[in-house]
């Protein structure tokens, strides 16, 4: 007898994060999409909005308020901006339906931490449903797998956060790099800004153009600092500069940290090997190997290259992910697999697309 499939509801189905999850779910052997929900593309098949899905997923998109919308799920994904999930998640949790939210709504499990994050990004400091914050878990499996497996509510990490935390954490955990003075120089493809059009992301503005943005106030800094502080056991503050580059998808983070006395490449490689041994989606490359965003495009992998500049005493880590997969939908699906008690890599263990 075939095992029962996991029934999935997807809110925010027509954005990049939504369609990315659909692409993964239609190939997932243990899950089935029950309903697609959004305020865009209502009553149209999702394959009308995204023709590449035709014949693979032709489900209609329901309005969130439609009384005919199915609501019998095992898990609900919110592929939505900040402020949506926190107003609505309890309706599913009260029915014993698990929730995975893409936004910052549930990345912080106290009112105080959420308020600090919200203030930083210019949102109201009061969470719409503070009583459920304490039950939320930060959804980076490589660091919080034990908590995720028993959780009903997971806040999926930010894309930059995934890339940066995985990139530098072992050096801090094993006391090889100075927690002070770290610099994160990050670059993302234009899809990181989402699907909604804007003048800055009009083709003539993006083609052959690069720019820094949110130079001192990017929303992912707060979670990066929190996680790295937990890893190192001491307070961490970082310099973080994000850039948009003229590619569709991908993030590359170049991380600079001062090596502590006695640390060398042998120590560093051992630390990364120890920390990521058995991690299915983290790959550590040899000293000096060149990494590209195309190496992980369309995959759930994070590729890491380790380098030491002996002249300056700096550890230079290169970390790359696909912002729409390991930085979003793929990591969310990885969380679902853990929460539902199935193989963590199911539906995710495939190479990227090259070139």
List, by residue number, the catalytic residues: 159
**What is the helix (H) or strand (E) element at residue 223, kind and residue range?**
helix 221-232
Q: What whole-number distance in Å separates Cα of residue 191 and Cα of residue 52?
A: 18
- DSSP class of residue 164? H
Structure tokens at 179: 């927690």
**R_g over Cα of the chain:** 20
In the β-sheet with 153-155, what is the strand arrangement from edge to edge?
61-62, 31-37, 6-11, 75-78, 98-101, 153-155, 136-138
* DSSP secondary structure string for all residues of 81-135: -TTTHHHHHHHHHTTT-EEEESSGGGS--SHHHHHHHHHHTTS-SS-SSGGGGGG
Structure tokens at 265: 């490449």
Contacts of 50 (CB under 8 A, 6+ apart): 19, 22
Q: Are 186 and 243 spatial neighbours (Cβ–Cβ below 8 Å)?
A: yes
* C-alpha closest to that of 296 among 253, 328, 251, 244: 251
Strand blocks (E) in 38-90 = 61-62, 75-78
């Amino acid at each position: 007898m075939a095992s029962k499939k996991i029934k999935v509801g997807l809110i925010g189905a027509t954005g990049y994060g939504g369609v990315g999850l659909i692409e993964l779910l239609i190939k997932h052997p243990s899950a089935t999409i029950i309903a697609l929900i959004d305020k865009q593309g209502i009553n149209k098949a999702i394959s009308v909005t995204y023709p590449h899905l035709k014949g693979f997923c032709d489900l209609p998109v329901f309005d969130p308020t439609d009384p005919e919308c199915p609501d019998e799920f095992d898990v609900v994904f919110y592929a939505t901006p900040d402020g949506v999930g926190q107003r609505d998640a309890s309706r599913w949790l009260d029915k014993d339906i698990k929730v995975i939210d893409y936004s910052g709504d549930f990345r912080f499990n106290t009112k105080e931490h959420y308020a600090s994050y919200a203030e930083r990004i210019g949102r109201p400091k009061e969470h719409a449903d503070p009583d459920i914050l304490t039950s939320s878990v930060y959804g980076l499996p490589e660091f919080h797998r034990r908590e995720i497996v028993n959780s009903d509510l997971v806040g999926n990490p930010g894309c930059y956060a995934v890339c940066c935390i995985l990139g530098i954490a072992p050096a801090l955990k094993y006391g090889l790099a100075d927690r002070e003075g770290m610099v994160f120089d990050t670059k993302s493809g234009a899809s990181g800004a989402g699907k909604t059009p804007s003048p800055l992301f009009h083709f003539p503005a993006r083609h052959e153009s690069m720019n820094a943005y949110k130079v001192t106030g990017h929303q992912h800094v707060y979670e990066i600092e929190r996680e790295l502080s937990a890893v190192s056991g001491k307070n961490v503050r970082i310099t973080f500069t994000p850039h948009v580059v003229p590619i569709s998808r991908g993030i590359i983070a170049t991380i600079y940290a001062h090596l502590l006395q006695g640390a060398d490449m042998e120590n560093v490689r051992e630390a990364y090997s120890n920390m990521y041994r058995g991690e299915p989606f983290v790959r550590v490359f040899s000293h000096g190997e060149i990494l590209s965003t195309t190496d992980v495009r369309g995959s759930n992998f994070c590729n890491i290259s380790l380098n030491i500049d002996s002249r300056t005493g700096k550890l230079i880590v290169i970390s790359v992910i696909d912002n729409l997969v390991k930085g979003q939908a793929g990591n969310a699906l990885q969380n679902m697999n853990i929460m539902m008690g199935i193989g963590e890599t199911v539906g995710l263990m495939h190479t990227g697309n090259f070139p």
